[in-house]
Amino acid sequence: MGIVYEKIMAMQVAPVVQTFGPKDCMLYALGVGLGHDPMNEDELAFVYEKNLKVLPTMATVLGYGGSWAREAGIDQVRVVNGEQGFTLHRPLQTGGTLIGQTRILEVVDKGVGKGALIFSERRITDKASGELVATVSQTAFCRGDGGFGGPPRSAPTPTHPIPGRAPDFTCDLSTRPEAALIYRLSGDYNPLHAEPAFARAAGFERPILHGLATFGVSGHALLKTLCGYDPNRLISFGCRFSAPVFPGETIRTEMWRDGSIVSFRARVVERDVIAINNGRAEVR
């Protein structure tokens, strides 16, 4: 089918109403690796209902509806997450009903064989009060959809620079072999992360970990290292995805702190490959 530029830019994405509760919060935390050590009470607070805390990175899976991507004609086999970010306007609660409203900001045609970029933004509001809870940004890299005749980008996307000095902090967190199978239960059912045949068709030797799961692991690393596991201290978090991670690998998050701004990147320890780059977070 393919992308039709005028159609996708004119899309009115239907709002998504989502009711969630403590079980969803705990499942998300398990999906990004918390609870590996049942004796670690800092992590237990996110995966056990007593005095439950919510990971800030859970904002990325709230109020999301992916059907618009299929309606836009995107090749679902070859689409991957290019960039992701969020800003929290208030701490996430352990439950409630939220409304997610997505809008397409820009579509860039990189050319035949080079893919396309779709920039979108999702505003998440509390249904009861109308209060803005979070703003989530995303860039989808549609590897199979270049050359549809859309405009190229007039200027490169600005990226947050990583300091030239050695990291101020590092944090290694392992992922479980079944991590993608747990994480997908938070709403991303793309078979790329579950079916070996589908992964091979997409050009990977085996199912890969969701980019947003890697994102969540790095968020955990920052929360652990710089926020004392206090989710209220993380205001915003965003990055660019640069390489896939396979479930079972170890993710080393490297962090540089300059006042309230934290620069970060994530490296796959076993292969010495940078999976997340140009990360920027703001902490209280």
CB 221 within 8 A of CB 67: no
CATH number at residue 158: 3.10.129.10
Catalytic residue among 8, 124, 208, 274: 208
Catalytic residue among 118, 146, 188, 238: 188
> pLDDT band for position 243 (50/70/90)?
very high
Q: State how far the alpha carbon of 244 is from the alpha carbons of 65, 96, 192, in Å.
A: 23, 33, 12
| Model confidence at 275: pLDDT above 80 | yes
Active site residue 230: no
At CB < 8 A and 24+ separation, what contacts does 181-184 make? 181/247, 182/27, 182/30, 182/31, 183/31, 183/32, 183/209, 183/210, 183/212, 183/213, 183/216, 184/31, 184/210
Average pLDDT for the chain: 91
Q: Using one digit for the tens of pLDDT, what is the confidence trace for 10-36?
A: 888 899 999 999 999 999 999 999 999
**Residue range of the domain that includes 28:** 5-283
- The beta-strand segments (E) located in 110-249 are 116-126, 132-142, 169-174, 234-241
Burial class, 240, CB count within 10 angstroms (exposed 0-12 / middle 13-18 / buried 19+): buried
Whether this prediction's pTM lies above 0.85 is answered by yes
Active site residue 193: yes
| Model confidence at 155: pLDDT above 90 | no
CB 55 within 8 A of CB 216: yes
Question: Strand, helix or coil at 97?
Answer: strand
- 213 is written with which tokens? 């799961």
- 110 is written with which tokens? 């990189």
Catalytic residue among 118, 193, 216, 238: 193
Catalytic residue among 33, 82, 150, 211: 211
Q: Report the distance separating Cα 179 and Cα 283, nearest Å.
A: 27
Active site residue 104: no
Active site residue 188: yes
pLDDT the model gives residue 68: 67
| The total number of structural domains that make up the chain | 1
Whose tokens are 């998504």? That residue is 16
pLDDT the model gives residue 80: 73
Look at 4-13, 45-54, 100-109, 129-138 and tell me which has the smallest mean pLDDT.
4-13
Look at 15-24, 157-166, 179-188, 214-223 and tell me which has the smallest mean pLDDT.
157-166
Q: Report the distance separating Cα 209 and Cα 4, nearest Å.
A: 30
CB 28 within 8 A of CB 100: no
Q: Report the distance separating Cα 31 and Cα 33, nearest Å.
A: 5
Q: Using one digit for the tens of pLDDT, what is the confidence trace for 67-110?
A: 666 666 676 667 778 899 999 999 999 999 999 999 989 888 77
| Phi and psi, residue 211, nearest 5° | -55, -35
Q: Using one digit for the tens of pLDDT, what is the confidence trace for 136-153?
A: 999 988 766 666 777 776
pLDDT the model gives residue 178: 97
